[in-house]
Amino acid sequence: MEPKTEPEATAVEEETLVQEELLVEEISIDGMCGVY
């Protein structure tokens, strides 16, 4: 069983850091005005 060591604040901060480094973003082509 994995001990939960990270306080929530750090986990959120980490996730933010990871989000900024995400190298792939998907976007819906059908969610753009002017696209048929």
Partner 1 sequence: MTSGTASADIGEKSTADCPVTFDSSSKWERSAKIGLRSEPFGALAYHFDTRRLVFLKSTTLVDLVEGLVDHESADAAIEAIVEPADDRSRRAHVLALTSLAEAGVIEPVTPAISSVG
Partner 2 sequence: MTAIHTPLTLTPKPVAVPPLVEQLKGGLDAPICLTWELTYACNLACVHCLSSSGRRDPKELTTAEALAVVDELADLQVFYVNLGGGEPMIRKDFLDIVDHAVGRNVGVKFSTNGYYIDQQAAERFAATDLLDIQISLDGFDAATNDAVRGPGSWEAARRAMDNLAAANFGEFKISIVATRHNVAQLDDYKKMADEYGAQLRVTRLRPSGRGVDSYQDLRLTHPQQQDIFRWIIDHPDVLTGDSFFHLNALGTNTGETLPGLSMCGAGRIVCLIDPIGDVYACPFVIHDEFMAGNVRDAGGFASVWRESELFAELRQPGAAGACASCNAYDACGGGCMAAKFFTGIPLDGPDPDCVLGHADEAVAAANAAGIVPQPSQDHSRPVRIGARPS
Interface with partner 1 (CB under 8 A): 11, 15, 18-19, 21-30
Does residue 35 bind partner 2 (CB under 8 A)? yes
Q: Which residues of 5-26 are buried (b: 16+ CB within 10 A; e: fewer)?
A: eeeeeeeeeeeeeeeeeeeeee
How distant, in Å, are the alpha carbons of 19, 20, 27, 30 from that of 24? 10, 10, 10, 18
Q: Cβ 1 to partner 2, closest distance in Å?
A: 14
Q: Cβ 26 to partner 1, closest distance in Å?
A: 5
- Residues lying near partner 2 in the complex (CB under 8 A) are found at 6, 10-11, 14, 17-18, 20-21, 25, 27-36
